[in-house]
Structure 1
Amino acid sequence: MKKLLVTTGGGDCPGLNAVIRGIVKRASREDDWEVWGSYEALNGLMEEPTRLIKLEEKVVSGIHVLGGTIIGTTNKGNPMSLSEKQPDGSIKKISRIPWIVDRMKSLGFSAVINIGGDGSQAISQAMFEAGMPVVGVPKTIDNDLNSTDFTFGFQTAVQTATDSFDRLVTTASSHHRVMIMEVMGRNAGWIALYTAIAGGAEICLIPEIPYDLEKVVERIKSRYNNGRGFVNIVIAEGAYAKEGSITSSVGEEGRHGIRLGGVCFTLSQQLKDAGIEADIRETVLGHTQRGGTPVAFDRVIASVFGVKAMELVLEEKFGQLVVLQNNDYTSVPIKDAISAYHVVNPSDTLVQAAKGLGISFGD
């Protein structure tokens, strides 16, 4: 039997289980393949003893409706740059990729399907260059991976954000408040942009368009008449003012190094300092956008991604990432997908449409 290893890395994301199920169900149609999962990305493979699980059809039955991932995930400890203490007490960065590839081969694995975002796919490319047959599957709620129209998990995050935004609209109108809702996305404003359009926001602030505070204040004031009125704002966690900086704190060891979050409170204070007298309230959605049952759209593309990834393995087309382009499921070299960061273009049709709907970006 040929052995396939499946890993899920980075932040958790609705649809991960649907990909795993798609891989296993497609592999079950072959007589000479068995599928294994490594717990918590590559950690399960690297530990002694290993923490691996054989993924059979009975194990993945019905998991496509579940959030999270049955094999766990982690965004800590990049194996391409691990800290190792030297005899003299100094710390040296080393890559464990060659060791990981040797470990996989010694355990009899013929190929790997790595499910993850840009950081995880950089690891995929490193393993591929080290001689391991690898296929990648794009995963992130941020939709910031290049070469694919959508990553699975994004639509669920947008739906969660939109549902929350709808609830804030009614309370904002009842109390004549300014409601600021912060969504995830890191340095890409896709979740904020889609939510603002779907929810009918008055203001949408994203990293790609640093906002002019005076323009934001002007828009808010135009919505009030003798203290009557309300404003709903969607702000991406990576947004910042033209004369300001990104709101962040020190994060865990890993590829990001910083933890984004709290920009809604930064904006709230800026508005108060600028003379906005209306009652301002802040809501941080945080990890609610990552959890829960994936919407139908994400279940479909995740399931198809899983099937297509397994078929790439069967066709021995390695070093490839499964993608969705122009409503067609195809693949591109992993190195091309991680060569650029997929962000919102200010001249994008969606941005212009949002402006046509009267949404202000503070520019």
Structure 2
Amino acid sequence: MKKIGVLTSGGDSPGMNAAVRAVVRKAIFHNVEIYGIFHGYSGLIEGQIEKLELGSVGDIIHRGGTKLYSARCPEFKTVEGQKKGIEQLKKHGIEGLVVIGGDGSYMGAKKLTEHGFPCVGVPGTIDNDIPGTDFTIGFDTALNTVIDAIDKIRDTATSHERTYVIEVMGRHAGDIALWSGLAGGAETILIPEADYNMDHVISRLQRGHERGKKHSIIVVAEGVGSGVEIAKQVEEATSFETRVSVLGHVQRGGSPSAFDRVLASRLGAFAVELLLEGKGGRCVGIQKNELVHHDILEILDQPHTIDENMYQLSKELSI
């Protein structure tokens, strides 16, 4: 290949810029022209495509968000939209594409692959919900943002002897809630991958109160439901003063952690290597600290799972 493209799509995540930087510089290192596609698949359809140089990605490795911007694109879900995108790629002589994003972005790359255009997916999402990789770019940074918030909220929970319900992001996955809840010492963690009994949640709070505990933290993944509703049920059942913090999009921002910068650099460069080897229709990941790649046509059919042992540990430590 002599020309490849790169785009970011879907929700932004810390480390996307580091991945873009790796793709650009790895391509240039191998004397391959690299083109940035702005505003995701929407920009692809509209032809928002520019050639990138070494300096184009200078001073971005430490920045959150994405230099290439991102946007939702319902039109790209149609065959007509997909063909428009391929026409734009061919117009610029682009022979392969690196797509950085979550499952929606992977779905777009899958469609291009089905049309015969070589794509490689790079997992960029704070949700950590992409099969075939232990970690996605942005998860570690988001996790540390949540842990920092939990630590601060615990301070005020202690001062006012309150129960706090903290709602975190993750869509249909509970990884952010599970990892942050365990690291933050939460008394209860509610995730969509595991059924929960509200009576058991209440009993745990009451047992803690009976042994002199004056405050508690409950971490709720957004895929479970509303943190506000959970708090209302807790207060009605216990009469404990309860407050809610919905952390929201603060979890997506911020300078990426060292882990995310290294992960993004490794995965971005690996994606370019695969394209140069003639391997399209793949998605990259990391498993047991080894770089891996899978068939992008198959990976999205695999269910997201959590570490059951970690979830059990969180319950054992919160007795």
C-alpha contact (below 8 Å) 2:188/2:315 kept by paired residues: no
Q: Distance in 1 between matches of 2:191 and 2:131?
A: 18
CA-based RMSD: 1.7
C-alpha contact (below 8 Å) 2:62/2:256 kept by paired residues: yes
After TM superposition, give the deviation of residue 95 of structure 1 in Å: 4.3
| Counterpart position of 2:255 | 293
Q: How does 1:125-204 map to 2 (within 5 A)?
A: 125-204=110-189
Pair 1:52-2:49 in alignment: yes
Pair 1:27-2:27 in alignment: yes
| Counterpart position of 1:207 | 192
Question: Kindly tell me: are residues 285 and 355 of structure 1, through their superposed partners in 2, closer, same or farther at Cα, counting changes over 3 Å?
Answer: same
Q: Tell me, what secondary structure is at the counterpart of 2:234?
A: helix
Match of 2:242 among 280, 304, 319: 280
C-alpha contact (below 8 Å) 1:227/1:278 kept by paired residues: no
Q: Tell me, what secondary structure is at the counterpart of 2:76?
A: coil
After TM superposition, give the deviation of residue 45 of structure 1 in Å: 2.3
Q: Deviations over 1:183-206 (max 9, x none)?
A: 001111100000011111111111
C-alpha contact (below 8 Å) 2:118/2:281 kept by paired residues: yes
Q: Deviations over 1:58-96 (max 9, x none)?
A: 110121100000010023425124xxxxxxxxxxxx542
Pair 1:80-2:40 in alignment: no
Pair 1:352-2:315 in alignment: no
After TM superposition, give the deviation of residue 299 of structure 1 in Å: 0.5
Using the aligned pairs only, state the percent identity. Answer: 40
After TM superposition, give the deviation of residue 53 of structure 1 in Å: 2.5
Q: Deviations over 1:299-346 (max 9, x none)?
A: 00001011101111111111111110111012111122211231325x
Alignment size in residue pairs? 319
Q: Which amino acid aligns with 2:105?
A: S
Give 5+ residue unaligned stretches, structure 2: none
Q: Deviations over 1:133-179 (max 9, x none)?
A: 11111111111110111111011111000000011111111111001
Q: Tell me, what secondary structure is at the counterpart of 1:196?
A: helix
Q: Distance in 2 between matches of 1:155 and 1:29?
A: 29
Q: How does 1:115-130 map to 2 (within 5 A)?
A: 115-130=100-115
Q: Deviations over 1:6-65 (max 9, x none)?
A: 11011010000000000111112122x111111110222222xx3222221111012110
Q: Distance in 1 between matches of 2:135 and 2:75?
A: 25
| Counterpart position of 1:242 | none
Q: Tell me, what secondary structure is at the counterpart of 1:223?
A: helix
Q: Tell me, what secondary structure is at the counterpart of 2:67?
A: coil
Q: Distance in 2 between matches of 1:226 and 1:151?
A: 40
Q: Tell me, what secondary structure is at the counterpart of 1:23?
A: helix
Q: Which amino acid aligns with 1:179?
A: Y
Question: Kindly tell me: are residues 142 and 136 of structure 1, through their superposed partners in 2, closer, same or farther at Cα, counting changes over 3 Å?
Answer: same
Question: Kindly tell me: are residues 200 and 53 of structure 1, through their superposed partners in 2, closer, same or farther at Cα, counting changes over 3 Å?
Answer: same
After TM superposition, give the deviation of residue 181 of structure 1 in Å: 0.6
Q: Distance in 2 between matches of 1:124 and 1:51?
A: 18
Q: Which amino acid aligns with 2:158?
A: S
Q: Distance in 2 between matches of 1:226 and 1:145?
A: 41
Question: Kindly tell me: are residues 78 and 329 of structure 1, through their superposed partners in 2, closer, same or farther at Cα, counting changes over 3 Å?
Answer: farther
After TM superposition, give the deviation of residue 356 of structure 1 in Å: 2.5
Q: Tell me, what secondary structure is at the counterpart of 2:194?
A: coil
Q: Distance in 1 between matches of 2:77 and 2:269?
A: 28
Q: Distance in 2 between matches of 1:311 and 1:350?
A: 34
Q: Tell me, what secondary structure is at the counterpart of 2:140?
A: helix
C-alpha contact (below 8 Å) 2:186/2:217 kept by paired residues: yes
C-alpha contact (below 8 Å) 1:147/1:336 kept by paired residues: no
Give 5+ residue unaligned stretches, structure 1: 82-93, 240-246, 248-262
